[in-house]
Structure 1
């Protein structure tokens, strides 16, 4: 397979979409990886497999409608394999295997059949000290935008997924790119004060537009840099509640076509006003795990 990812929005040709099949039982609150999942476990509203499977199949149907080749992970019994973006990501023609939470190692092997078709010279496993997840990494033409957290208390945050060592390693791997890192706000307890990944508070769309949530960024100047880069009139600012619902975590099939959650009324109206075709899907149950459409898709080839 000849990989090609230069940005977030060029016409999608091939993608890995996670699966909710054999998702396993509701976790214990103390075993949750993020505050939103924990919140739903404690409230008795954690999503059920029977509700999540149709949501993911609705996405697969839309992707196939646009002639996208869709790969799914091999099923691991009683194991959460929804968020394919966490475990690997593509920049240019390179597949980078993430160093993720140790409990999730099995997820990598479930997609091995896909990346075994990629030449070994194009598969990169970063050094062990480099922590990174794909939700924090966004190729955007000349840039690679990366969400990170560099506080001394990094080890205390299960929600801090990408460290400065990974940012530096990616900068070395892609010297022709401008690597721009952004400090994200982290909380182990309050999902409305936690940007789990960069795509939980920001995402570029189309050719020159973006969705953003100011409070997801720890440093206002870094948020402002993005607003200035895209232009204030091209940026859709989402509220704290909209960030909590994952409004920035939609997914682009092309510069013109976006898959979005059906309840994102304000966002979807704005997208259509900007000329986008919006393919609405139900994804509110998946969202209870602090991830949405971008988190559960891992693009392999864009034109």
Structure 2
């Protein structure tokens, strides 16, 4: 059996599913874009090239190997985007939950089924069909489970709204011993700078008591204040609109004191160094053009 155990975002990583950019397929058409940032780059002719994204993911894999992390990869699907493994499933405690994802992306889940088959089947759950939930919206913080959602009455009109209140309530019922807190996120179909696609696009914990946050990613100030009160203002690194657009809060922790970031995040790097973190830098700017970064392309299976 493949051991799984994840209770937070920062404990020592032991195994992970890392997405792949191999055989990523042609640049999507305008109508195939899932998010406004991809659309922006499709329209401007700057959509990322497969060779560049292959180099970026390879750089991340090298970092994982240096820290002795077991890296699992999806089975290859020809001409298909398989970069963002975070969307298709997630682990809470010793339970693997399959995400109910956009129908166009179901093949991505099939490509990691061989890994899921190695997990105790009693610990693998598929939510009911009305439950929409993706891994980027689920952030674990020991006693807390933070979940990004969209509470607007026009939820069904937003392809950028990925987790509904059925998803929140499903997790609440599944983990009654946890404090499950949902956050109503700002969504936009047309402006990537005003679209928090997932919770990890505007907030992520780091270390033992710190976090990186974008205040304007929350529709309600009370949701933002919940995190301020929980972590303390002095422990939160605030990013601006452009930094949110560049996915600055979408880093990835290998340990409580080791963080992987995109090499262009100069301000974040300095804050992390000032707070005693070891910072591993990788190029990931091309992948970020699809409104996803380091956390989005990783699915942790086991942390200490």
TM-score, normalising length from structure 2? Answer: 0.99
The aligned runs of 1:1-303 (5 Å cut-off) are 1-303=2-304
Offset of 1:119 from its aligned partner?
Answer: 1.0
Q: How many pairs align?
A: 303
Residues 177-196 of structure 1, C-alpha deviation per residue, up to 9 Å, x if partnerless? 11000000000000000000
Structure 1 Cα separation of the partners of residues 120 and 69 of structure 2: 22
Secondary structure of the structure 2 residue equivalent to 1:253: strand
- CA deviation after TM superposition for structure 1 residue 241, in Å: 0.1
User: Which secondary structure does the structure 2 equivalent of 1:139 belong to?
Assistant: strand
Shift of 1:2: 1.8
State how far apart, in whole Å, the 1-side matches of 2:271 and 2:140 are.
24
Q: Say what the alpha-carbon RMSD is for the aligned residues.
A: 0.5
Q: Determine the C-alpha separation between the residues in 2 that align with 1:255 and 1:100.
A: 30
Whole-Å separation in 2 of the counterparts to 1:266 and 1:138: 23
Shift of 1:227: 1.2
| Partners of 2:21 and 2:118 in 1: CA distance | 24
Q: Deviations over 1:201-246 (max 9, x none)?
A: 0000000000000010000011011011101110000000000000
CA distance in structure 2 between the partners assigned to 1:2 and 1:59 by the alignment: 23
Cα deviation for residue 165 of structure 1 reads: 0.2
3-state SS of 1:229 partner: helix
Separation in structure 2 between the aligned mates of residue 283 and residue 2 of structure 1, nearest angstrom? 29
Q: Equivalents in 2 of 1:201, 1:101: separation in Å?
A: 22
* Alpha-carbon offset, residue 29 of structure 1: 1.1
Q: Secondary structure at the match of 1:187?
A: coil
Pairwise CA distance, 1:301: 0.2
1:287 deviation in Å? 0.3
CA–CA separation in structure 1 for the residues paired with 2:58 and 2:52: 11
Runs (4+) off by over 4 Å: none
Structure 1 gaps of 5+ residues are: none
